[in-house]
Amino acid sequence: MHCFTGNISVLATIYRLVNRKSQVVLRDYKLRSYSLNSVSYHFLCEQKEDVDYSMIADLQNGNAFTRRRLAIYCMKDAYLPLKLLQKLMSIINYIEMARVTGVPLDYLLSRGQQVKVMSQILRKAKSLHFFLPVIDIVQADDTYEGATVIDPIRGFYNTPIATLDFASLYPSIMIAHNLCYTTLIRGSNATHNLSDSDFEVTPSNNRFVKSNIRRGLLPQVLEDLLNARKQAKNDLKNEKDPFRRMVLNGRQLALKISANSVYGFTGASVGKLPCLEISQSVTAYGRQMIDLTKSAVEEIYKEGYLDGKCPCNAQVIYGDTDSVMVKFGVKDVKAAMELGLHAATEVSKKFIPPIKLEFEKVYSPFLLINKKRYAGLYFTRPEKHDKIDCKGLETVRRDNCPLVSKVLSTCLEKMLLEGDATSALEHAKKVISDLLCNRIDISELIITKELTRSSNAYAAKQAHVVLAERMRERDSGSAPRLGDRVPYVIVAKGQKVPAYEKAEDPIYVLQNNIPIDTAYYLENQLAKPLARIFEPILGDKAESILTTGVHTLVRTVVQSKKSGLSQFFQKTERCLSCKSSLPKGVSDATCAHCKPNEGKVFITHLALMNAIENRFARLWTECQNCSGTMNEEVLCSA
């Protein structure tokens, strides 16, 4: 009976997982839109049936064909979440996370990270016969210094840049230095009857008992997690069965996340078991190790080292939290990889196990823009690059319109893959010209922001919040709700009008032919991101080169049909040939002057009409394919 009840519970949780798929995607993936249509297209290249909510009643009350369309709409809404579950391996990953952390599957959906860490601590504490204290959760004002970021030597590097990474840095530090609640010493040494050799003083001036006196509980938890992950990764390499590979990959990801969460658990001031002495000691050791790595690499790898394999003194051009980037001065990727492997092995000897420096990748060429902002061709083997890797740039950020990501990606491809900075600059100028001349599709200009609070909760007015209120006044049924991402474009309303008043719903803009404020997009969306990637090449004048010049002079603004002088215009009949106005009351195709050539004019316009009809037929066929109605009326709400 117990087994049966447990199975029902698991099935019920999986059912909830299917129904709450939107929450799963929202938590695990960063997308511009979380509608079922957008998510399905992003992961599956499939979309929902295009049926507006206003059409549903008419489809239901129509004939068998219209009800079939409605049934397809409902069916797609049902099976797309199931296909997403399969594609994203959500059930497998969540089950493995539940197994690793020892919490019910439902907790992974409804609760945060702390319950997972707490569960593992409780499990280990029970086996060691420890009791955990129950403490009141109080907001603390204590803070501690975070990780080290070595100041970047900005520029565009044509020579390979090797990257050295610490494997599981923070968990390894906690294991190596025995950092735990059970090993922390507070107060004077005398009360604990300990000599100076029995404990270690961390760089943040905290004291922890050495492992030969007492092995900490947290290091044991972390050791188990890291060993289990190592085993899962080894099994994954040898496994051939696709399903077992998915399970093993889900398991090693769950183990990785769990190990990395322990440090954050100790540093959470509003948490179950906060201990800032542990978290500040971890980051202090991390800073010390990054500085030591930089010093060691630059001291060891001097010009002529390793029988001349080092052509010049090595230089660490950037370092962040758990990695350093090294310029060895070699010309090819293979030589950089050899020196990177050698450096990882040599420098690792200076650290206490299991702290280990690993060589992971080489960037060549490499564009270092600023702290946490860089891009380069990513090599893990010397023969061919794996991908273009971008960090912190607008190509991977969601707070800009898609046009920014698209143009930056193309420019980076031209700079990094083709090695042609001139071509990249010309492409950027062409996109700016197209933008100012209204040749960019509106879908490329949509900005999305999450609606997290009501308008009253914001100190200053926000564009997406003001728009959501406006949309609610127009139609409360389709207006964005709290938690939704609100799409909007910036429309032309005058120079002194604030941006939050110029935000508008893209569909409303299309329906009412409202012009776009292209100058806003150039100044506030494109200019600075483009200037950042071109600055290492063009210098401080990068932004002025991009935003001034011939390519920015021509502008065409499409005015609304419902504003300005257009409301006073009158329709007049004109000659099809010479376009002259025809007298009032005359409805002929041509004027008296062109009447003798009426046959030729007719043939010319007939050929033009045939070409237009042919294009329409091709587009109509695409519409029929999309709706699956090759022999029936196309019912489309677009």
pLDDT band at 550 (very low <50, low <70, confident <90, very high): confident
Predicted confidence (pLDDT) at residue 341 exceeds the cutoff of 90? yes
Distance, in Å, from the CA atom of 205 to the CA atom of 485, rounded to the nearest integer, reads 45
> Can you give the pTM of this predicted structure?
0.76
Residues contacting 212, CB < 8 A, separation 6+:
none
Question: In this structure, what token pair is assigned to residue 318?
Answer: 């950037």
pLDDT band at 4 (very low <50, low <70, confident <90, very high): very low
Question: Which pLDDT score, from 0 to 100, does residue 503 have?
Answer: 92
Look at 344 and 243; give whichever has higher pLDDT. 344
Question: Which pLDDT score, from 0 to 100, does residue 309 have?
Answer: 87
Question: Which pLDDT score, from 0 to 100, does residue 189 have?
Answer: 59
Question: Which pLDDT score, from 0 to 100, does residue 628 have?
Answer: 63
Predicted confidence (pLDDT) at residue 114 exceeds the cutoff of 60? yes
Predicted confidence (pLDDT) at residue 293 exceeds the cutoff of 90? yes
Look at 416 and 4; give whichever has higher pLDDT. 416
Radius of gyration in angstroms for the set of CA atoms belonging to the chain, rounded to a whole number? 32
Same domain, 229 and 347: yes
Element at 410 (helix H, strand E): helix 402-412
Question: Which pLDDT score, from 0 to 100, does residue 374 have?
Answer: 93
Whether 246 is covered by a domain: the verdict is yes
Query: Which CATH number characterizes residue 19's domain?
Result: 3.30.420.10
Predicted confidence (pLDDT) at residue 139 exceeds the cutoff of 80? no
Query: Which CATH number characterizes residue 169's domain?
Result: 3.90.1600.10
Whether 101 is covered by a domain: the verdict is yes
pLDDT in tens, 9-43: 555 655 565 556 667 777 777 787 788 888 888 88
Predicted confidence (pLDDT) at residue 340 exceeds the cutoff of 80? yes
Question: Which pLDDT score, from 0 to 100, does residue 568 have?
Answer: 61
Look at 11 and 305; give whichever has higher pLDDT. 305
Question: Which pLDDT score, from 0 to 100, does residue 359 have?
Answer: 92
Predicted confidence (pLDDT) at residue 585 exceeds the cutoff of 90? no
Q: What is the 3 state secondary structure string of 246-312?
A: HHHHHHHHHHHHHHHHHHHHHHCCCCCCCCHHHHHHHHHHHHHHHHHHHHHHHHHCCCCHHHHCCCC
Residue that terminates a domain, selected from 79, 110, 141:
110
Which residues pair with residue 574 across a beta bridge? Answer: 581
Pairing status of strand 184-185 against strand 207-209: antiparallel
Predicted confidence (pLDDT) at residue 5 exceeds the cutoff of 50? no
Question: Which pLDDT score, from 0 to 100, does residue 334 have?
Answer: 93
Number of domains, the chain: 4
Question: Which pLDDT score, from 0 to 100, does residue 564 have?
Answer: 53
Same domain, 495 and 538: yes
Distance, in Å, from the CA atom of 398 to the CA atom of 34, rounded to the nearest integer, reads 12
Element at 357 (helix H, strand E): strand 357-370
Whether 79 is covered by a domain: the verdict is yes
What percentage of the chain has pLDDT greater than the value 70?
89
Print the domain residue range for 44.
2-110
What percentage of the chain has pLDDT greater than the value 90?
30
Question: Which pLDDT score, from 0 to 100, does residue 2 have?
Answer: 40
Q: CA dihedral defined by 390, 396, 401, 404, rounded to 10 degrees?
A: 10
pLDDT band at 192 (very low <50, low <70, confident <90, very high): low
Predicted confidence (pLDDT) at residue 636 exceeds the cutoff of 80? no
Across 156-166, average pLDDT: 93
Output the CA–CA distances (angstroms, integers) from residue 273 to 87, 286, 289, in the order listed. Answer: 37, 22, 27
Q: Poorest-confidence range of 95-104, 182-191, 370-379, 435-444?
A: 182-191
Tell me the one-letter amino acid at 245.
R
Question: Which pLDDT score, from 0 to 100, does residue 177 have?
Answer: 94
pLDDT in tens, 267-277: 877 778 888 88
- Following DSSP, what letter does each residue of 120-172 receive, concatenated? HHHHHHHHTT-------------------EEPP--EEE-S-EEEEEETTHHHH
Across 153-162, average pLDDT: 92
Same domain, 387 and 438: no
Same domain, 456 and 509: yes
Contact (Cβ atoms closer than 8 angstroms) between residue 469 and residue 482:
no
Element at 427 (helix H, strand E): helix 421-436
Whether 630 is covered by a domain: the verdict is yes
Same domain, 375 and 320: yes
Same domain, 284 and 427: no
Whether 94 is covered by a domain: the verdict is yes
pLDDT in tens, 234-267: 888 888 888 788 888 888 888 888 888 898 888 8
* Residue among 308, 326, 306 at smallest CA distance from 317: 326
Question: Which pLDDT score, from 0 to 100, does residue 456 have?
Answer: 74
Residue that terminates a domain, selected from 82, 110, 138:
110
Whether 506 is covered by a domain: the verdict is yes
Same domain, 341 and 240: yes
Query: Which CATH number characterizes residue 422's domain?
Result: 1.10.132.60
Residue that terminates a domain, selected from 350, 369, 391:
391
Same domain, 556 and 601: no
Same domain, 51 and 106: yes
Whether 131 is covered by a domain: the verdict is no
Same domain, 386 and 417: no
Residues contacting 483, CB < 8 A, separation 6+:
26, 450, 451, 452
Same domain, 100 and 177: no
CB atoms under 10 Å from CB of 310, counted, come to: 20
Q: How open is the CA angle 401-406-410, to the nearest 5 degrees?
A: 155
Average pLDDT for the chain: 84
Question: In this structure, what token pair is assigned to residue 223?
Answer: 């050791």
Same domain, 355 and 404: no
Contact (Cβ atoms closer than 8 angstroms) between residue 190 and residue 197:
no
pLDDT in tens, 470-502: 988 888 777 888 878 899 999 998 778 888 899
Whether 362 is covered by a domain: the verdict is yes
Handedness of CA 415, 417, 418, 423 (dihedral sign): negative
Count of positions (residues) in the chain: 638
